[in-house]
Structure 1
C-alpha cells in the first residue's frame, strides 16, 4: 500500500485504522480533488427533482425553499436560493423559528405557502420524516421536492423486518433511502443541496466553474453538522478551506473580521467553534433568518452590524450554556439520576435552543447517552447526544408511543412530548437499554506506538497529508511508554502551558501540554511523592517516568520549523 500510494507505511497504517484499505479510496483520501466527487444523478430522484425545477423555472412558477434553523439548514437554504436565483427562478425562502415552529416543515408553513400562491416547495436539511405534512401539501395541490440527509423513518412488520416509509413528495432526495444507489451516504444537508444544484446547473447551462462559489459554505456546513470527514465530505472541506481565505462574500468576511480570525489560516477548528456557532446563534436565541441574511448581504456597513449582532448573540449563548451545564450537573449529582445508564434530565428553565449543546457537555462528562428536556411553548422538548455504543434514533423509535415528534441520527436526536410523559420516557429508555458497564468505559484509541525519539520534522510534515481532521478522521494519536521526565516548567502569560523535557533512548525531546496542570502535579505527587515533583520542576535527577499519548505538529517560531509533541493523556 505504501509503495502504491508513495507515502510512508505509518500513513498507510493510519488510513487502515480509519477503514480505508483499497487503492481508490486511499488515493481519493490522499488527493481530495474536487473531480473525485460522484455524479449527483446517482442519487435517487435527484435528476427527477432537477427536471421538475427546470420546468417550474420555465413556467415562471413561484418556488419556496423550506430550510432549518441550524448552520447546515441555513447554508443549505443559502445554496439553493443563490443557485435558483442564478437560474432565473422566482424563488424565496422560509426558515422555521426554533421555538414557535419547531423543526422542519409544518402545516402552518404549508398553508401560508398556499395563500402566497407558491407552486413548489423544496425542503433542505429536513422533510424526510414529514410524512403527514407533505401529504397535506400535496392535497393542497403544491408540488413538493424533499432534499434531506437524515435517517429515513421506518416501521417494523410482524417479523420485525424494517420497512422504510418516505413522504409522498414529487421527488424524495436522500441517499439514506434503501434503494438509493449513491455510493457516499454521509453528506450533510448542504452537501445534498449542492449535488442538486450541480445537476441543475448542467441543465440550465450555467458554467461549471460557478460551483466553486459554494465550496467555502459547504465546508462550514459539513464541519458544523459533525458528519464524518471522509469521502466526499473530506473533498468538500479541503477545497472549502482553500477557498475561504479568498472569500468574496461580504457577510462572511464581516463575520471573520468580527471574530478576530481575519488574516489567519482558517482550519476546521475555526469553522466548527468560531464561525459556525455565530451563524447558529441566531437560530438558537433569535431567528435563523439573520444568519442567512448575513450571508446574502451585499452592503458592507450593514454586514458589519449584522456580524456584530451575531457575535454578541453567540457570547450570550456561551454564558447561558455554562450556567445550564452547572445546573444539570448539580441535578445529576444530587439525585438518583447518576445511577442511570441513559441520562434523561428535565430542567424546565433551560432555554430549549441550547439543550443539545448542554447534552453534549454532559455526555462528555459522564460518558453516557444524555437527553436534556426543557419546557417549550406547548410541550416539553428534548435534545440528545450519544456515545458510539448507543443508537439514539433507534432507541427513541422504541419509545415512539410516548413522543409527539422525533428525529435525528445515531449520535444526536431531538423530540417533543407531553409533560406527563417525561418520567415514563426516562424509565423506558433505561429499561430498553442494552448498554453494559463495558460500553460505558471511556476509551482512548491510538494509531500506533511510536518511540518519542523518532519524531522529526519530516514525519510531522507528512502527517499534514491527512488534514483536515474531524469526525471520522480524528487527528492521529500516538503513544510511548516509560519516558523519563528530565525537567518541567510552566509557560504562558496565564501560566497555562506545561513544558516537559523528556529523555528516551538517550535523546532529549521537548513536549507541551495544554491540560489541567494542577491535576497533573497532583497525579505526579501522588505517584512519586512531593520531593520527586520538586526535583522535576528544578531539573534535578528524579524518578518520574510516564506513559503518554500525543499528537505531532509542526511548530513555527521566528522562521524556524520543527516537530512538536503535544501530550494528550498520561499515566
Structure 2
C-alpha cells in the first residue's frame, strides 16, 4: 500500500523565478527541498568550490593540522587508520596522498572486516607501537573508539581523530544528552555539539579533504593540487549515501566534471573494466558501478586491494587489480541475491512479519553483505531492518532504516545488550553475544514508537504536471537540479486519468516495459523498470484480460491510470526527446 502526497509549499514562485532566471517549476522543486532564499538557491544552481566553508571553522581541525605539520617537520612516523568501505578507502587515499605530498613519513592500515571489525582496535595500536609509529590519524572512524584511543594515549602515541559519525552520548537523570568524545590530541567531527562548522553532513572523505586543504596551506602546497581529489570526493560522498545538499552537492557536482578526465591509472582501469570509460559519468555510475567494485574488496577480501588500485602507477597492474575487484563484485552480487531470498523466507515463514522493527538472524549469511541485505529488506517492507549473522567470535549486525526511525538512537537504548555499536540515523552496525539476539529483537520492538502510518510507503510528489505539457525543453531545464541523490531526489511528478494506448516488453531479459501514453491529444513515451508481471496482474484485475491484451496489441482499450513519474531526456541515434519514467500507478 502506498500513500501519494502532493507537496504544496507556499512561496512567491514568480518573484523567485525572475530573480534566479529559472522556471517557476524549478523554483517549486527547490522550495520542496527547503531552499527558499535567493543566496541558498543560487549556490544550489551554481555549486562552485569557492562556496565551500573554511575547514578551520571545524573544531580541532587547525589544532590537528598543526600537530601533523610538526610531526612532518620532525620526521616522525604517521599511520593512517581507515575503514573498509568506500568512504574509508577514499578517506585513507586522500590523507595518504596529501601527507606524502607534504613530505610525511606516512603509511596506512585498513582493518579487516572479519578479523578486526570496524575501526581502530587495540591490536592495531599495539602493532603501531611496535612499528615505531609516533602518530595515528583515523579517518571515517574513531569518534566512538573511546577505550581504544585511551589505550593508545597510555602507549604514548599521538592520536588525531577525523570522523563524521554521530558522537556517542549518555543521558542524565533529566534526559539531557552528554556527548562522550574520545580523549585524542585532536578530535575532528562536525557532529560534536561544540563544533561551530555550519555544514554537518560531510562524509569521512569530506572531513579528510577539509583537513588536507588547511594542511596544504600550512605546508605551502599550491591550492590547485587539491583538484586531484575532486573525483574521489564525489565517489565517497555518493557511496556513503549522505545528503547531496550544501557542500556535498558542490563536491559531487565538481567531482563528476573531473572524473571523465581523471589522471588516476587505477580509476581509469576500473572504468575500462566495467565498460563505462568514455561515457558521461553520473551519480548512478559512482553509486552502482565504481563504488561497489571498490567496496567488494572490503566485503569479500581485504579493503587494501581497493586502496592499492587507486594508488597503482602501472597500467598493466591496474588492469589486473580492476579485473579482480570486478570479479569480487560479481560474486558479491550473487551472494546478496541468495541472502535476500533467505531473509525474506525467514520473515514470511515466522512471526517476524508481525514486527515493526525487523531483526533477522541468519548465521550463514556473509557478514560483509549484511548491510546490503538489510537495505533490500528495508525497501521491500518499508520498515527498519537489521540483519544479524555469525562473525568470528560473536554475532555481527548491520541495519538500514526509514526516515521515521533513528537507528543509532534506538540502538543506544539497547546498548547493554551490545558489545559495540555505531552509525547514523539511517544505518548502523553492531556486535553482540549470541545469547542476546532474541532480547535485542524484543527490546527494539518494545521501545519502538513506530506507527502503522510510519510503515506505509509515502510517495511524495513535487508537482502535478499534465503529461501533455511535458516536452524536451522541460526535460532539459530539470538538468540544472542534478546531481540527484539522498536529500535531493529526482523530481517526482504526477498526472491523472492517462490513457495507455500501447505497451511492449523490451530488453534482452524482457524486463523493461514501454508504454505509449495519450493525454489531451498528445502522445508521449513512458518506460517502466518495475515488476511487469505485477503491473499486468493489476491491470487485469481492474480492467480485465481482454483490455490488457488490446493494450499490448496497440488496439483500442479503456485502460486509464493515475501515474507518478520522472522526466528524462531520451537519446537514440542522434534524436532527442522527452521521456517519462513510470514510478507508481493506480
Task: Report the TM range for the smaller structure's normalisation.
Answer: over 0.9
**Is residue 464 of structure 2 the alignment partner of residue 449 of structure 1?**
yes
SS in 2 for 1:128: coil
Identify the residue that residue 221 of structure 2 maps to in structure 1.
Answer: 206
Identify the residue that residue 365 of structure 1 maps to in structure 2.
Answer: 380
Superposition deviation, residue 534 in structure 1: 2.1
**Residue number among 555, 560, 573 corresponding to 1:545 in the alignment:** 560
Superposition deviation, residue 110 in structure 1: 0.7
Identify the residue that residue 379 of structure 1 maps to in structure 2.
Answer: 394
| CA deviation string 1:43-84 (max 9, x = no partner) | 111111101111110000010000000000000000000000
Q: Tell me the C-alpha RMSD between the 2 structures.
A: 1.0
**Is residue 271 of structure 2 the alignment partner of residue 256 of structure 1?**
yes
Identify the residue that residue 52 of structure 1 maps to in structure 2.
Answer: 67
**Is residue 500 of structure 2 the alignment partner of residue 485 of structure 1?**
yes
Identify the residue that residue 180 of structure 2 maps to in structure 1.
Answer: 165
| CA deviation string 1:427-457 (max 9, x = no partner) | 1111101111111101111110000000011
1:108-119 map, 5 Å: 108-119=123-134
Identify the residue that residue 12 of structure 2 maps to in structure 1.
Answer: none
Instruction: Give the count of matched residue pairs.
Output: 571
**Is residue 202 of structure 2 the alignment partner of residue 187 of structure 1?**
yes
Superposition deviation, residue 22 in structure 1: 1.6
Gaps of 5+ in 1: none
Q: Give the whole-Å Cα distance in 2 for the aligned partners of 1:68 and 1:493.
A: 39
Q: Give the whole-Å Cα distance in 2 for the aligned partners of 1:510 and 1:367.
A: 30
SS in 1 for 2:460: coil
**Is residue 551 of structure 2 the alignment partner of residue 517 of structure 1?**
no
1:167-316 map, 5 Å: 167-316=182-331
1:81-100 map, 5 Å: 81-100=96-115
Q: Give the whole-Å Cα distance in 1 for the aligned partners of 2:410 and 2:185.
A: 30
Identify the residue that residue 144 of structure 2 maps to in structure 1.
Answer: 129
Q: Give the whole-Å Cα distance in 1 for the aligned partners of 2:449 and 2:307.
A: 42
| CA deviation string 1:214-246 (max 9, x = no partner) | 001001100000000111111111111111100
Give TM-score, length-normalised by structure 2.
Answer: 0.96
Q: Give the whole-Å Cα distance in 1 for the aligned partners of 2:277 and 2:466.
A: 38
**Residue number among 4, 9, 21 corresponding to 2:36 in the alignment:** 21
Q: Give the whole-Å Cα distance in 1 for the aligned partners of 2:300 and 2:510.
A: 35
Q: Give the whole-Å Cα distance in 1 for the aligned partners of 2:399 and 2:197.
A: 29
**Is residue 542 of structure 2 the alignment partner of residue 527 of structure 1?**
yes
Q: Give the whole-Å Cα distance in 1 for the aligned partners of 2:89 and 2:504.
A: 46
Identify the residue that residue 333 of structure 1 maps to in structure 2.
Answer: 348
Q: Give the whole-Å Cα distance in 2 for the aligned partners of 1:15 and 1:454.
A: 20
Identify the residue that residue 13 of structure 2 maps to in structure 1.
Answer: none
SS in 1 for 2:290: helix
Which structure has the higher relative contact order (CA within 8 Å, separation 6+)? 2
Q: Give the whole-Å Cα distance in 2 for the aligned partners of 1:18 and 1:275.
A: 28
Q: Give the whole-Å Cα distance in 2 for the aligned partners of 1:128 and 1:491.
A: 49
SS in 2 for 1:248: coil
Q: Give the whole-Å Cα distance in 2 for the aligned partners of 1:496 and 1:69.
A: 34
Gaps of 5+ in 2: 1-15
